[in-house]
Amino acid sequence: MEPRDRAAQTLRGDGRRRTRLVAWSAVLVALAFAVAASANLPALLYNLFWKRFNTRGATWSIYGGLISCITLVIFSPVVSGKGLDPTAAQVVMTHESVHALTSAPLSSSAPLWLVEGFADYVALRRDDAPLAVSAGQALAQVRADGPPRTLPDADTFAAAGGHGLGAVYESAWLVFRMLAQERSNESIVAFYESVRDGADVAGMLRLDEHDGRHGARASSA
């Protein structure tokens, strides 16, 4: 095959991957709002119209709405294969399953970049697309506006729209992708759980780095 033909084939493959990843972003954005509404709306309605509504009822109504939404998502035409290819469907189901299994969306102390970035990290662990494709929207935003100064918070997610929202999701995912280059899966999960429960992000990064240096000295000794 001629070099020009190989280059054209690579570009076509990257184009398909970019289209697939954009589709993932759009679906995940819609599902995030669906999950949030399904978990919160029952509790709000019961609280308004049921005088005997208590904390236990609020907890079960949130879990009931969340589980119902996840079940409908899994068996919906979009995820079952009619709207997305099998790989995209796997990503969507894994992403939403991480939310359901960790209960992080129900935690008031869990920042949104942590919740969405970790779910994307788990869902995209086996994706072999180059970074220019997987984080194309975030990289384009960095080229246009410069690197972000802070991690994306809930207001950043809410204010973003279209490709901007895809860039925010990619930025959150990049946090865990960078951690994965230097840390084990166990360390990443420990970081996620600690920050989810209210630990300081900078403090956890320093602690993890210190443990890594200590372990390296111990193994060399």
Q: pLDDT for 17-70, tens place per residue?
A: 444 555 555 566 666 677 777 878 888 888 888 888 888 888 888 888 888 877
* Residue ranges of domains in the chain: 3-181
From residue 192, alpha-carbon distances to 19, 22, 100, 114, 173 in Å are 29, 26, 15, 7, 12
- Cite the DSSP H helix spans in the chain: 3-49, 55-74, 77-80, 86-102, 112-123, 131-134, 136-145, 154-159, 163-180, 185-196, 201-220
Question: What is the value of pTM for the model shown?
Answer: 0.60
Question: Of 198, 135, 143, 194, which is closest to residue 167 (Cα–Cα)?
Answer: 135
Q: pLDDT for 189-216, tens place per residue?
A: 999 999 988 888 888 887 655 554 444 3
Instruction: Work out the number of other CB atoms within 10 angstroms of the CB of residue 11.
Output: 10
Residue 117: predicted pLDDT: 92
> With the CA atoms of 205, 210, 214 and 216 taken in that order, what torsion angle do they form, in degrees rounded to the nearest 10?
50
> In which band, very low, low, confident or very high, does the pLDDT at 175 lie, cut at 50, 70 and 90?
very high
Compute the residue count for the chain.
221
Tell me what the pLDDT averaged over the chain comes to: 75
